[in-house]
Amino acid sequence: MPPPADTVKVAIEWPGAFPKLMEIDQKKPLSAIIKEVCEGWSLGNHETFALQIADATNFYITEKNRNDIKNGSILRLTTSPYQTALQLHERIQSSSMDAKLEALKDLANASRDITFAQEFINLDGISLLTQMVESGTERYQKLQKIMKPCFGDLLSFTLTAFVELMDHGIVSWDTFSVAFIKKIASYVNKTAMDTAVLQRSLAILESMVLNSQDLYHKVAQEITIGQLIPHLQGTDQDIQTYTIAVINALFLKAPEEKRQEMAHILAQKQLRSIILTNVIRSPTPINDEMAHQLYVLQVLNFNLLEDRMMTKMDPQDQAQRDIIFELRRIAFDVECEPNNGGSIEKRKSMYTRDYKKLGFINHVNPAVDFTQIPPGMLALDNMLYFAKHHQDAYIRIVLENSSREDKHECPFGRSSIELTKMLCEILKVGELPSENCHDFHPMFFTHDRSFEEFFCICIQLLNKTWKEMRATSEDFNKVMQVVREQIMRALSLKPNSLDQFKSRLQNLSYTEILKIRQSERMNQEDFQSRPILELREKIQPEIMELIKQQRLNRLCEGTCFRKISSRRRQDKFWYCRLSPNHKVLHYGDLEESPQGEVPHDSLQDKLPVADIKAVITGKDCPHMKEKGALKQNKEVLELAFSVLYESDEYLNFIAPDKHEYCVWTDGLNALLGKEMTSDYTKTDMDTLLSMEMKLRLLDLENIQIPEAPPPIPKEPSNYDFVYDCN
């Protein structure tokens, strides 16, 4: 007979004794259960004991998480969090180097548990660790030469414990002294430093910068880009990742007026070429975290263009007008005429003619064209760069179009403005980096002026596509749509260099785009007649059931989710999957990202589907209401969902990508008998329905399907032709 719902069967371990099997009544106070266990082994002072999960995590069982205990769990009787914290607090102050080292190692492991962390912090443990970093370790500096490995481990475990404790968000980052920041910075600034110490130090500096504007200023005074650069020139990808993360944090939190200055320093220190040589072109494959940091750096660099993108041209500003004069001079090889050279009217007429050839909308005063934001002055900057650095291509495009008929010319000025605006949209200039994105493009790290070079390639593509389409001025928007598709398809192939990008575009001519569109497009004309629409309505429920089964099958396979924390690089994972009978969700923590499926029996936690009340998405999720660095990012909100069960209990998810988000929200809604409404479901429905329709109508090819069914003939005058077979 199964045990009652509020009773779980577990095994409890105690060092030096045989494990004890017992039933735990979840309605009973936890202190009473611990007392009962202690009495079974004749242990007094049960208040000084606690129960732990007997796995690699060693998490304490509390009244808050006791419901996570499942049948068959193995628990361990151990000292209470307070007693453990008290003992470790004393042990890490030991005068013995070996005892201190062992204590700090235990502290680093124990600090991952929030229950222990709270007790240790209540004993002012954070202050003790910071004091040890600031001054305590100096006592061992003299011993460093003869006991260097021991010293490195001592400092490494101290910093690891500090990072783990701070990761729980219990203590504010604003509480730390300048002396502590200086000490951490000194570990980063040293050329020969223990790898583990360097990793922890960089992680601490990044968290300080991201979590406190005040600490940003203090860290910025202690750390220079020049001191961080050498860490990128090594071969340890983890150190490189942490280093780029600190640079990104400093970049992200810098006041707007200092970002351009910081960008100049990065250029002077040749950060881009160092990253290209030592990271992107390194033999070591780039992992997800490094890809994310490179993506963030890419976004922050492009965001430097936002100021020019949102700056309107002042038609009265002579310096800005001179740029337009320079474009005219380079294109038509003319010098500025002296004031006495012809009448004013003649000069105006000549300027108007040339500005028309340059493709500006306003021929009289082209400065007006650049008052639209975006792209503002950024478009003019791109045009001048193209004219100066790719002069032959610039002159060819302008003269080629000025020799065509008016309606067939590709207006260079208007095209450049619209193209710059499009490129800003594609690269999301001005938007904050996403927390989960890894979409960096290696080609943007191959040139100091990558955006301008990107523009130069694309403006030549636009002119080529215009000719291939034999476009007129009325087709301008159509041409821009084709060019956008060409650029997006070429970027999706992740070219390694700008030349490779250009080569990919050569293979994506207008003719090729038409072929791709034709193969992808569903022929809508064949599917609009009434009989076809009726057939679609009849097939639709079958397709929806097929999609539902696919979603449930995917849930049965399971997915690995990442636990989002303020510290990204020490990734924590958990896995969730649906049981084959669709009645239970199995989930549990993992030490690392799994290769393939995770079996049910290794997932300790269960949630009956019958207990699920609702699926909540986006900003309504409880874990999205918490504040944290970049946590309110739009893309993270779009991947968040929660399962509400029992009395206001939640199981919180952040999907690894949009595809998994759609699969899980659809699958959970299907389990609850609700409609599947994700974009992925709509796409699948369109694809499968189109395929099924085409298969069913295959035999009717080239046959005209009437709008109305054929008329039913009149009844015959008699039924003599009907006979009984028997």
**pTM: predicted TM-score of the whole model, two decimal places:** 0.72
Decide if pLDDT at 145 tops 60: no
Percent of the chain at pLDDT exceeding 70: 89
| Contact yes or no for 500/443 (Cβ under 8 A) | yes
3-state secondary structure at position 233? coil
Mean pLDDT rounded to a whole number for the chain: 85
3-state secondary structure at position 23? strand
* pLDDT at res. 146: 44
Residues 381, 313: Cα–Cα separation, whole Å: 11
Entry field: residues in the chain: 726
Angle among Cα 620, 621, 622 to the nearest 5 degrees reads 115
Decide if pLDDT at 298 tops 90: yes
* pLDDT at res. 562: 81
| Contact yes or no for 686/624 (Cβ under 8 A) | no
Q: How many CB atoms lie within 10 A of CB 42?
A: 6
3-state secondary structure at position 194? coil
* pLDDT at res. 54: 84
Taking residues 137-145, report their average pLDDT.
48
Nearest to 221 by CA among 190, 249, 181: 181
Q: What is the dihedral of CA 126, 132, 135, 140, to 10 degrees?
A: -170
Q: Tell me how far CA of residue 432 lies from CA of 297, 372, 438, 442, 636, in angstroms.
A: 11, 23, 14, 20, 12
DSSP type of residue 713: P
pLDDT band for position 66 (cuts 50, 70, 90): confident
Tokens 């007026």 -> residue: 257
Strands (E), 31-86: 49-53, 74-79
Residues 187, 209: Cα–Cα separation, whole Å: 17
Tens of pLDDT, residues 662-680: 999 999 999 999 999 888 9
Who wins on pLDDT, 162 or 67? 162
DSSP type of residue 287: P
3-state secondary structure at position 487? helix
Residue 577 parent element (H or E)? strand 572-578
DSSP type of residue 247: H
Class of domain 92-305: mainly alpha
Tokens 């010098």 -> residue: 335
Class of domain 7-79: alpha beta
Task: Sketch the domain layout of the chain as residue ranges.
Answer: 7-79, 92-305, 310-520, 540-682
Tokens 């609700």 -> residue: 674
CATH topology of domain 540-682: PH-domain like (2.30.29)
Decide if pLDDT at 522 tops 50: no
Residue type, 606: K
* pLDDT at res. 301: 92
DSSP type of residue 407: G
Q: Tell me how far CA of residue 15 lies from CA of 19, 54, 78, 670, in angstroms.
A: 9, 12, 9, 47
Residues 425, 431: Cα–Cα separation, whole Å: 10
3-state secondary structure at position 616? strand
3-state secondary structure at position 571? coil
Decide if pLDDT at 341 tops 80: no
Note the helical H segments in 371-492.
Answer: 377-389, 391-402, 412-426, 450-469, 476-492
| Contact yes or no for 309/431 (Cβ under 8 A) | no
Q: Tell me how far CA of residue 472 lies from CA of 414, 489, 510, 603, 617, in angstroms.
A: 14, 25, 15, 63, 47
* Lowest-confidence pick of 47-56, 292-301, 586-595: 586-595
Instruction: Please enumerate in sequence order all residues whose Cβ is within 8 A of that of 464, keeping only pairs 6 or more positions apart, or say none.
Output: 509
* Lowest-confidence pick of 95-99, 224-228, 280-284, 518-522: 518-522
Decide if pLDDT at 540 tops 50: yes
pLDDT band for position 630 (cuts 50, 70, 90): very low
- 281: region left, alpha or beta (phi > 0 left; psi from -120 to 50 alpha): alpha
* pLDDT at res. 527: 56
pLDDT band for position 709 (cuts 50, 70, 90): confident
| Contact yes or no for 424/375 (Cβ under 8 A) | yes
Q: Tell me how far CA of residue 206 lies from CA of 178, 256, 434, in angstroms.
A: 16, 19, 17
Instruction: Please enumerate in sequence order all residues whose Cβ is within 8 A of that of 271, keeping only pairs 6 or more positions apart, or say none.
Output: 225, 229, 232, 247
**Phi/psi at 53 (5° precision):** -75, 125
* pLDDT at res. 292: 93
Decide if pLDDT at 296 tops 80: yes
Residues 677, 666: Cα–Cα separation, whole Å: 7
Taking residues 520-537, report their average pLDDT.
66
